Amino acid sequence: MRERWAKRIAFLTGLIILLLSALFANLQNPAPAGKKDASPDNAPMPMTPVAAGPDISLTEAGREIYNEQFCASCHSLAGNGAPRNSLDAIGKKYTDLELKNRITGADALKDIYSERILRYKQRYKDLTDEELNALILYLKNP
């Protein structure tokens, strides 16, 4: 009987933790569930046709690099991947050089990124210029 009590209390404790975690997530996302997908972060960016049209094979190479480097474990594109750090608007916001610096965690970005993130990003310094160019092209034309 004591064992059964221990079991019940443990189960109840687990349930409370589950509910409080859900409450926490709910507090962080006050918008009604239906609307949240329409938030600018998650909405796919309307694509503006690029005059000359992107180099399809280079974009494809960029996509491969994006996948190989598991960018989606921290970022999302068009709602796919970790939604915390959306890259949807990134192509519009920054120049190629800025993007390159942001990808590789250039020292100049010390004020923007925490040291931890900077260190993490610096592992992408190993990417060649061609690879970075392809990746940036993909980010602009996902």
Least distance from other proteins to the Cβ atom of residue 54, Å? 21
Closest residue by Cα to residue 141 from 71, 19, 44:
44
* Structural tokens at position 33: 């569930």
**Is residue 35 near other proteins by the rule CB under 8 A?**
no
* Structural tokens at position 137: 């092209």
Other Cβ atoms within 10 Å of 12 Cβ, number = 10
Closest residue by Cα to residue 89 from 102, 77, 101:
77
DSSP for residue 127: S
- Of 1 and 52, which CB lies nearer to other proteins in the complex structure? 1
Choices 68-76, 91-99, 104-112, 133-141 (CB under 8 A): range interacting with other proteins: 68-76
CB 137 within 8 A of CB 96: no
Which residue from 60, 120, 122, 125 is in contact with other proteins, where contact means CB under 8 A? 120
Which residues within the stretch 12-31 sit at the binding site for other proteins (CB under 8 A)?
13-14, 16-18, 20-22, 24-31
Least distance from other proteins to the Cβ atom of residue 82, Å? 4
